Amino acid sequence: MLAALAGLAIAGCRLATAAQSDPPTHIRTIDPDAEWSEIKSSRAAGRSGTFVLELRPTLERSALWGSQDLEAVKVRVLPYASNFWEELSTLLRWRYEAGPYDPAKGRDAPQLVADGLARYRKALVAGGLEDAAQDLIIEPGRRVSLALAAGDYLVLSEAECCSAPIHKVWVWLIRTRLDPDATAVVVLEDANRLCLDAWTRNGTRCRDR
């Protein structure tokens, strides 16, 4: 009997592990006619502001390898929609919930994010805001400025660095409001809005699940 119970316990653990490995499947729909009303009205009225992005994560120095540099990072700026925010949040937390080194998640997650972005961009086109989505390449320590219609935006980016023995992963999913005739500054650094710590090979250190 004890052996049977132990077998059931092991099977249950395996099922739980398998369930955690399955990617989120619920796709949040976007209604182009109902979303982004403020950005649409701001654009029509000529109300805009300045959106400033800066990349500034912390890099350690290794006694063996010396200082290491983070290369330029791709950053996406998109008009905010709550359904899409929820989809990205769920997907990214699933991807990194046990650290960044799960091979299956590392293989599947980028395509799932790309599929979600493709659907969202189609909705932006249908809503007449195809040019409101910006894909930028930002170098560490340099600022990039955008003139955008007033409203709410989200910033999405993932970066990793460097060679052994230091390897860190940063994930940024940030919501920012841009008011008319104002400047909104978004700094991509260690203390980001998805996780307060970068992940390292020494273990996941995330206090903001």
| Tens-place pLDDT, residues 8-35 | 343 443 433 444 578 887 778 899 999 9
At residue 97, the pLDDT reads: 76
At residue 111, the pLDDT reads: 92
Apex 87 CA angle, 23 and 140, nearest 5: 100
Q: Residues 104, 203: contact at Cβ < 8 Å?
A: no
What percentage of residues in the chain have a pLDDT greater than 90?
48
Look at 206 and 53; give whichever has higher pLDDT: 53
Extract the tokens encoding 182. 């104002």
For the chain, domain boundaries: 49-200
At residue 106, the pLDDT reads: 82
At residue 141, the pLDDT reads: 83
CA distance 188 to 206: 16
Question: Helix or strand or coil: residue 37?
Answer: helix
CA distance 86 to 29: 11
Confidence check: pLDDT of 7 > 80: no
For residue range 64-114, what is the model confidence (pLDDT) as tens digits?
555 567 788 999 999 999 999 999 988 888 888 766 677 888 888 899 999
Q: Is 78 exposed, middle or buried (0-12, 13-18, 19+ CB in 10 A)?
A: buried
Q: What is the pTM of this model?
A: 0.79
Contacts of 17 (CB under 8 A, 6+ apart): none
CATH of segment(s) 49-200: 2.60.40
Q: Residues 170, 188: contact at Cβ < 8 Å?
A: yes
For residue range 164-175, what is the model confidence (pLDDT) as tens digits?
666 778 889 999
CA distances from 67 to 64, 165, 183 (A): 9, 12, 33
20 DSSP assignment: H
